[in-house]
Structure formats: C-alpha cells, structure tokens
Amino acid sequence: MSPSKGHDVGDGVDVPDTVSAISDHIEEAYTKETTHDAVFGEVTEDGPNYRNLGWLGTSVLMMKTQIGLGVLSIPSTFDTLGIIPGSICLCVIAAMTTWSDYEIGVFKLNHREVYSIDDAGWLMFGRIGREFLGVAFVLYYIFVAGSGMLGTSIGLNAVSMHGTCTAVFVVVAFLLGFICASIRTLGKVSWLAWVGLFFILSAIFTLTIAVGLQDRPSTAPAEGFWKSDYKLTNTPSFAEAVSAVSALVFAFSGTAGFFSIASEMRDPRLYARSTLICQAIVTSVYLTIGCVVYYYCGSYVASPALGSAGILLKKVCYGLALPGLVVTETIMIHIPAKYVFVRLMRDSRHLTANTVTHWSVWLGCSFTVSLIAYLIASGIPIFNGLVSLIGALLAEAIKQIRAEIFDEKVLENCQYTSTFNKDMIRGMGHARAPFTYDAWKSPEVLAKISQVAEIDLDEDRLLSDADLPAVAWHYDSFPFVCVTMLSDCTGMGTAVVLQGRYIKHQALKALGGRERISMVTCFRPKSPFVKDETVLYTEYRLGILEERIRAKLKSERQRQIAQRPFNIPDVRSFLQEQKEFLESMLEEMIELD
C-alpha cells in the first residue's frame, strides 16, 4: 500500500490518512444535510433534483399560472363596472391575493413538510380537510388544464388556413401538454415558463396597441362617425356586478398552486421576493390591458378582447400566443400530476430515484391527468359555448322576453298563422319589444354567438321578415340561426347555433311541458369575404357585393394617399372574384314559368 494512502498496522487493516478521512466525512455529512428535504426525502445524484428552482424562476412560474388569454376578459368587466370602480376592485383583489400568497410562504417556512394545499388542510382540519382540499385542488387544475387545451386548439384553429377539425387540434394540444408536462421538476419547467410568458405578453400588448391605432373596434358600426363611449363609472345590476368581480377574482386564481412551487425552491426564504415581483407585474398588466382596451373600444369591447381588433389581428395575436397557451396547459397538467405522484411515492426511495417504478408512476400520473383534461376539452367546444350563451340570456332575460311576446299589442299586431305553424310572432321591432330587440343586438350576446359559431357574425340586415315563409326559419335559408327555447327546458339544452343549408331542425316540445315556444334569430358572417355557401336572398347578396366594393374602394384611396403604384393584377383578381360571385347568383336564380 502506498504511504500516501495510509499505513499498515499489525492486524493487516488499512487505516486511511487522518486528514483525508476527516475531509471525506465532512463532505459526506454536508451532502446529506443539504440534500435532505422534509417533502422529498433524500435527494441523490441518481434522481431528479426537485429543490432546484430559483427565486426568479419562481416569479415567472407564478406569473404564468395567472397571466393567460383570460386577461382579455378584463376590459369587458371594466365595461360593466366602469374604469374607476373596475380599477379599484382589481387593486383590492390584487392586495388580498398578494397577502394570501405571502402567507403561503410564511406557512411553508413554519411547516417544511407541507407540499400542497391538502397538507395544509391536514394540519388545520385533519383527514377530512386533506381529502376535501386535495380532491378540489386536483379537479380545479384538471379543468383549467382542459380549458388550456381548448385554448391551444382554438389558437391553432384561428391561425390555420384550412378546415382541419377542432377535435384534431385538441388531440395535438393533448400530446403537446403531456410531453411538456412530463418534465419532472419545476426548475426545468421554469425555462418553458419564460418562453410562454414572453409570447403571451407579446400577444396581449400587440392587441392593446392595435385597438389604439385602429379607427374603431371591429364590433362597432362600420360606417359613420364613431367615438368610444367608455364610462368612468357605471351602474350595473347586482348580478352583473357580481359576475364582473368574479371574473377579476378568477384572474388572480393561481394561488392554490403556489404551495407546490414554494416546495421546489432552492431557498424558500426568498419566496416573499418572488411573490411581490409576480403580483406587481400581474396587477400592472391587468390594469394596463383593462384600461387601455376599454378606453379605445368602449361598449363595443369583445369578450375575449381579441375580437375587438378584427380577424387579421386576431390571427396574429393567436399566433403569438400559441407557445404561451402550450406552456399554460403544461403547468396546469404538471402541478396536479406532481401532487398525485408525490402523494403516492412519499416516504419511498422511488420518489427521488430513477427506478422503473419512479418513471412508470410519474408518466402514468402525467398521462392520466392529461387524458382527463383532454376528455373535458373535447366536450367544451359545445358545452362552453352553450353555457356562455345561457349566461348571456339568464332566466330573468327569458322571463322579460316572454312578457314582451305575450303582450296584448304584440299578439294583436304580430301574430301569424301558416300551414306549418298555427302560432307565430313576427315583426315585433323595437317599439313593441325593446328588451328583446336590444338583447339580440348586444355586442356581448353577439360575441357569445360568434364564439359558438367559430366565426365573427353580424345580425341579418333584412328590413322585415313579416312576409317570409315560416319554413325559412326551420330549413335555414339564412347563413346562421340561433334557436333559443323560451319554454321550461329543464334537463334539455337552452340554445343552439346552426349553420344554414346543411342542417334541418325543429324545436321539439319541452320535456314535461305542454308548450313549445322557441325564438329564432338570424345572423350572417361579419366579413363580406367569407365564402358563401348558403341559400341567400338577393338583398343579402347585393349587400355583400356592396360591402366588398366599398372595402376595395377604401383600399384604393389609401393606396393613392400612400403614393403606391396601381396594382393591375390585384384589381383584375378582385373583379374576377366579383364576376364569379354574380355568376353564382345567376345560377341560383331560376325563373319560374
């Protein structure tokens, strides 16, 4: 044995050098002390390092759990409350949630064994508290993850130039979410959060700048003088105010996941710094978006606000937001999957070791959460649209519409009979049914119906429908129709949006009721350049042609002002398109003998 390594003793046992031995023992003791965690146990080099999240990465993760496209609903809440009350409510809610977020860090420092909100429930309420909060926590994040998948699929659909089914895009979102969420530590996920936050903020501020530069929001009247009708204060009803405040509360609803984020910090003592940075930036972004977008759009602000900037900017913003949407669903899948994984593997060496059991359980958790979120997202395209529409037409609104329909003057002047239906109400107008008239012209209702139809719609501009045959309603001679049940429809759907020409429909008698009262409202695509495949009336066709010519004329005038050269191929292409449009009209118009 070399003298530098030690020396021999009489019994033949090697004794290590004293200095080397002391150094090795100190290093081993220090390593064990710094890698032991009250939640994850012994963290070794052959497994993931769950305690590797810096304070700056923590701030970014916190911001990304809160800032998403949902922020674009804030301008509509300001429309309900007014700029000043809306800003005050937002700041008060921000202060309350900031205090709550801060207390999570204090609680974590005092109880290092706490990983998630269910552990806090155990300390406060015992087993019942743990199970209740644990189930609620997982379900909440799974539903938000499903919403994130739907958001990603809608973004892909918005920027797509072909007619791929939305269901396919949901599958793509599911795969992207599962793959990215399977990254095992938040320390590595935080790098994705940086990317997602950058792109989502780019989309949001692009929209904000766009509404400030454009002449008017896309939902405002296209002709005539227009000025924003924003309000510093407003007088909403109690239900409207509660709904608006709830939307603001939801915008700060990332708090539940902060327990898990704090548990993976290298130094939890820096949690307060991360929280204050997160809340300051989030609140500033919310105030900026809410005030600026509402100031320029007024009551014509869409919800979400992407609809206020028009179709082109909507595509641009969704394109910028796509990476952020993917990261949102990634975080929303990762957090509940990690919660289930830690609870299953806690106090086991498989929690922090690269064993087959570790990988099998972890991938199983992330896949299961992703799959459930996907199943939810697959149902949301119909469910969410109908719920939004039902929310826009509450029970009180239905009662008011029924009251106007059954008014004596309406029944006396607007009741018609045909072989198809013996009782029809038509041509009420604003004078006899002001609430019904204003409700269907409301930008909020129009935005919800457009969301269901997945295309920007506008009300049909026929001057009168009194002379149209009743079958037009039920065989869809209109581009889009919204059929709303005004009878008691407990256990049934309340409203549906249908596209013309392809679907025949009939409003059946409500279950358990003797009456069947349905209202049919007609809409057409807002853009005059949308491909037209419905059986339209001549007035509608000529109206489309007129709008196209006006749009082209405006473009040519702008070209002259900018001193750009005359584009002959472009004009020829435009004229050829209109020629084909007129020829298709001639083919559909058959003269009867």
Q: Over the stretch 277-326, which tens digit does the pLDDT of each residue have? A: 999 999 999 999 889 888 888 877 766 666 666 677 777 888 888 898 89
**For 362-376, 416-430, 574-588, which range has the lowest pLDDT when averaged over its residues?**
416-430
The 10s digit of each residue's pLDDT in 207-234 is 888 888 887 777 666 666 778 888 899 8
Indicate whether 370 and 439 sit together in one domain: no
* CA geometry: angle 481, 483, 489, nearest 5 deg: 165
In a domain, 22, yes or no: no
**Per-residue confidence band for 376, with pLDDT thresholds at 50, 70 and 90:** confident
Q: What is the pLDDT of residue 303?
A: 60
The Cα 478–Cα 534 span in angstroms is 7
**For 128-142, 179-193, 452-466, which range has the lowest pLDDT when averaged over its residues?**
452-466
The 10s digit of each residue's pLDDT in 157-176 is 777 755 455 677 888 889 99
Q: What is the pLDDT of residue 304?
A: 62
Q: What is the pLDDT of residue 555?
A: 86
In a domain, 4, yes or no: no
Indicate whether 194 and 257 sit together in one domain: yes
199: pLDDT strictly greater than 70 = yes
pLDDT average, residue stretch 399-423: 68
Better-scored residue on pLDDT, 593 or 238: 238
Q: What is the pLDDT of residue 42?
A: 77
Output the six-digit token pair for 522: 């007609």
The Cα 128–Cα 120 span in angstroms is 12
464: pLDDT strictly greater than 60 = no
Q: Quick one: CA torsion of 349, 351, 356, 361, rounded to 10 degrees?
A: 140
Mean pLDDT of all residues in the chain?
Answer: 75
Output the six-digit token pair for 98: 């900031």
Output the six-digit token pair for 197: 């936050």
Indicate whether 330 and 310 sit together in one domain: yes
Indicate whether 269 and 127 sit together in one domain: yes
Indicate whether 442 and 374 sit together in one domain: no
Indicate whether 314 and 344 sit together in one domain: yes
Indicate whether 460 and 436 sit together in one domain: yes
Query: CA neighbours within 13 Å on the CB side: how many for 494?
Result: 17
Name the strand (E) or helix (H) holding 522: strand 518-525
Q: What is the pLDDT of residue 302?
A: 66
Better-scored residue on pLDDT, 429 or 60: 60
**For 254-258, 362-366, 441-445, 470-474, which range has the lowest pLDDT when averaged over its residues?**
470-474
Q: How many CB atoms lie within 10 A of CB 124?
A: 10
Q: What is the pLDDT of residue 566?
A: 87
**Per-residue confidence band for 198, with pLDDT thresholds at 50, 70 and 90:** very high
Number of domains in the chain: 3
458: pLDDT strictly greater than 70 = no
Domain boundary among 337, 354, 388: 388
502: pLDDT strictly greater than 60 = no
Domain boundary among 388, 421, 438: 388
In a domain, 46, yes or no: yes
pLDDT average, residue stretch 143-168: 74
32: pLDDT strictly greater than 50 = no
In a domain, 32, yes or no: no
Indicate whether 228 and 316 sit together in one domain: yes
In a domain, 551, yes or no: yes
Q: 218-221 contacts: CB < 8 A, separation 24 or more? A: 218/302, 218/307, 218/308, 218/309, 218/310, 218/311, 218/456, 218/526, 219/297, 219/300, 219/301, 219/302, 219/307, 219/308, 219/443, 219/446, 219/447, 220/297, 220/300
479: pLDDT strictly greater than 70 = no
Indicate whether 51 and 198 sit together in one domain: yes
Indicate whether 103 and 165 sit together in one domain: yes
In terms of phi and psi (left: phi > 0; alpha: psi -120 to 50; beta: otherwise), the region of 215 is alpha
In a domain, 16, yes or no: no
Domain that holds residue 67: 38-388
In a domain, 30, yes or no: no
Domain boundary among 499, 532, 565: 532
| Integer-rounded Cα radius of gyration of the chain | 30
Output the six-digit token pair for 304: 């979400």
Indicate whether 554 and 520 sit together in one domain: no
pLDDT average, residue stretch 8-31: 46
- Using a pLDDT cut of 70, give the percent of the chain over it: 66
In a domain, 15, yes or no: no
Q: What is the pLDDT of residue 539?
A: 67
Indicate whether 551 and 507 sit together in one domain: no
- Using a pLDDT cut of 90, give the percent of the chain over it: 19
pLDDT average, residue stretch 432-441: 71
